[in-house]
Amino acid sequence: MQDKSAPEEFDVVIVGRGPVGVTLANLLGLRGVRTLVLEREARTYHLPRAVHFDDECMRVFQTIGLAEAILPQTILSPGMLFLDADGRMLLDWSRPQTLTPMGWNLSYRFHQPDLEDALIGGLARWPHVTLRNRCDVFALDQDEHGVRIRYEDLSNGRLSEVRAGYVIGCDGARSLVRRFIGSGMDDLGFHERWLVIDVLLKRERDDLGDYSLQHCDPRRPATYVRGTGRRRRWEITVLADEDSQEVAQPAKVWELLSRWITPDDAAIERAAVYTFHSVIAQRWRSARLLLAGDSAHQTPPFLGQGMCAGIRDAANLAWKLSAIIRGGAAADLLDTYQSERQPHVREFIELAIRLGGVINTKAIEAGLAAGKARENAPVRLEVKKPLLGPGLALGDLPLAGHLAPQFILSDGGRSDDQIGYSHVLLVASAATLSSSLNPSQAGIKILSSDDAEGVGHWLREHGIIAALVRPDRYVRGTARNDAELDRLIAAITPSTHVPSAA
C-alpha cells in the first residue's frame, strides 16, 4: 500500500505557465514525460506582452499539434520600416509573404492571451501532464535522486510538496529558480525605459498601416506595431527626466499618442513603463535545476524575438530531458543545452541592441552591418538565423547547427508531421543505407526522396548524401560519402536518441 505521506512524484516540474513553460509541457507531454506545471497566478494574464513570433516558433507549435489552432489567431506581418523624424524611410525590413524553408511564414503577429489559451488547451491531451494554478513555489532542495519542490496553494494557504527529477524555471525575468541556481547575469549594456501602450481601436484606421514602424526620432524614439483585430501597440521612449508613473497617466499617454490617434479613435487597454534589458544568465543549469525563456535571457523587443528565444529553449531542452528520463541517456546531455542555446540567443540580443541604436540615433551604418545605404534609398535589413552554439553538432560537416527545412511529402502532407518530435535521417534513397547500418533500430526515423522529392534536391544542393536532423529540427551532422555516413550513424548512440512515446 502506498505511504499516504509520500510526496507525489513527477519527472519534471515546470515553474511558470507562460508560453515557454506551456510549450515545454506540451513537448514533454508528447514524449510521455510525467510533468507538473506550477503557476502562481489564477489564469491567463489577460493583457498582451509578446506580439510577434517567427516561422521557427510556428514549426514548434506544429510539432505539438497546435499550429492549426494557433494560426487563425494570428495575422501575417509584412515587416517593419524605420523612418526618420521627417518620415523618410531609413531601413526597410520587409518580410516575404511566401512560405520559408520552415514551411511557414516568416513573421506572425498575435495576441498573447489567445496563444496561451491554445497552448494551455493543448495540455488536456496529455493525461500525464498536470497544471496547478495559484501555486507559489518557495523552496527547491536538490539531492542525488531528485528535487523536493515546496509550494503554497494561494487559494487556501495550504503548503504542499512534490518531488521531481528536474525543475525548469520558466518563471520570467525575476525567476525564483535562477536564484536557487545562484546564477549571475551577464549584462550586454542595453537598459532603457519605454512606455508600452496597448489600445483597442473603436473604428477601423487603415491609414495606420500593417507595417510595424520604428520612428527613429532622436528626440523621442517610438515604435508602432499593428496587432490582431483592432489591437494596436505603441512603445515610446521615456525621457531621462520623466517619472515612470506620471508618464503612464492617461492624459500624458494621449498627449504622446496625439500625432497618431485620439480618444475618439481608441480605448487604452494598458499603459505601463517597462525597462527593456539585455541580459543573459551565466548558469542555465545547476544539476537538476534549469532555466528557459526570460529567466535565462532578456532582450530589447526591436526584433520581436523575446518569446521566440524561449520557445527555442523549450524545443532544445524537451527532447534532451525525455532522452534522459525515458531513454536512459546520461544526464550530461544537458550540458549541451546552454552551450548550444546561449550563443544563439546572444546573437539575436546583440542585433536587437544594434537596432535600438538605429532607432535612437538614425546611425544606420554605425548600428548595422547591413550593407551600404544607397543614394535616396533605404538599406534593406535581412536577419539571418544564428547557428547553434557548440554541443552535439558534428561541426566539421556541412550544415551542422543549421535548421533543416521542412519538406512537402509525396501525398501533400508536411514532413514534420510524419517525423514527429524525433531524430530523422534524410537520405536520397533508403537503399543508400547498408544493411549493417540500421538507424531505425536506434529509434531514428528515415525520410528519403521516395517520401518527399525535395529531400534529394536539398541533399544534392549541399553536396551531401545524408543529414541527421534532431527533434528540434537542427542538423546534427551530414555525410558527403559512405565513410562519413558510417560515422554519422555511429554518433547516434542510444544515449541521445529520443525513444518513441509510450
Ligand X SMILES: O=C(O)CCc1cccc(O)c1
The SS3 assignment for 116 reads: helix
H or E segment to which residue 160 belongs: strand 159-169
298 forms part of the interface with ligand X (CB under 6 A): no
83 forms part of the interface with ligand X (CB under 6 A): no
Binding residues for ligand X, total number by CB under 6 A: 12
H or E segment to which residue 469 belongs: strand 466-469
| Binding segment toward ligand X, per CB under 6 A, in 298-306, 360-368, 410-418, 419-427 | 298-306
Shortest spacing between CB 45 and ligand X, in angstroms: 17
Q: Is the CB of 80 or the CB of 333 nearer to ligand X?
A: 80
Among 21, 172, 301, 477, binds ligand X (CB under 6 A): 301
Q: Is the CB of 26 or the CB of 214 nearer to ligand X?
A: 214
- Could you please report the per-residue DSSP string of 6-48? SPEEEEEEEE--SHHHHHHHHHHHHTT--EEEE-SSSS---S-
Q: Is the CB of 26 or the CB of 237 nearer to ligand X?
A: 237
Among 35, 62, 77, 237, binds ligand X (CB under 6 A): 77
| Binding segment toward ligand X, per CB under 6 A, in 147-155, 159-167, 300-308, 336-344 | 300-308
CA dist 211 and 127 (Å) reads: 42
| Binding segment toward ligand X, per CB under 6 A, in 170-178, 297-305, 321-329, 362-370 | 297-305
Q: Is the CB of 27 or the CB of 50 nearer to ligand X?
A: 50
**In degrees to the nearest 10, what's the CA dihedral of 348, 14, 48, 60?**
60
Per-residue contact flags (x/-) with ligand X for residues 227 to 256, judged by CB under 6 A: --------x---------------------
Q: Is the CB of 225 or the CB of 444 nearer to ligand X?
A: 225
Rounded-to-5 percentages of helix, strand, coil across the chain: 30, 30, 40
By CB under 6 A, the residues from 23 to 62 that bind ligand X are: 51-52
Per the CB < 8 A criterion, the answer to whether 394 and 488 are in contact is yes
Shortest spacing between CB 364 and ligand X, in angstroms: 16
CA 131 to chain centre: 21
Strand ranges (E), 227-322: 231-237, 266-281, 285-286, 289-291, 297-298
Q: Is the CB of 225 or the CB of 271 nearer to ligand X?
A: 225
By CB under 6 A, the residues from 103 to 122 that bind ligand X are: 107
Q: Is the CB of 305 or the CB of 448 nearer to ligand X?
A: 305
Residue 179 backbone phi and psi in degrees, to 5: -65, -40
Per-residue contact flags (x/-) with ligand X for residues 178 to 217, judged by CB under 6 A: ----------------------------------x-----
**Which amino acid is present at 67?**
A
* Nine-digit cell string for 234: 505603441
H or E segment to which residue 467 belongs: strand 466-469
Shortest spacing between CB 223 and ligand X, in angstroms: 4
The total number of residues shown for the chain amounts to 502
DSSP state, 386? Answer: P
Shortest spacing between CB 93 and ligand X, in angstroms: 7
**Which amino acid is present at 311?**
I
DSSP state, 373? Answer: P
Among 74, 100, 223, 299, binds ligand X (CB under 6 A): 223
Shortest spacing between CB 240 and ligand X, in angstroms: 20
Among 126, 302, 421, 458, binds ligand X (CB under 6 A): 302
Shortest spacing between CB 432 and ligand X, in angstroms: 41
Shortest spacing between CB 52 and ligand X, in angstroms: 4
DSSP state, 408? Answer: B
Other CB atoms within 10 A of residue 101 CB:
13
Contact residues toward ligand X (CB under 6 A) are 51-52, 77, 80, 107, 212, 223, 225, 235, 301-302, 304
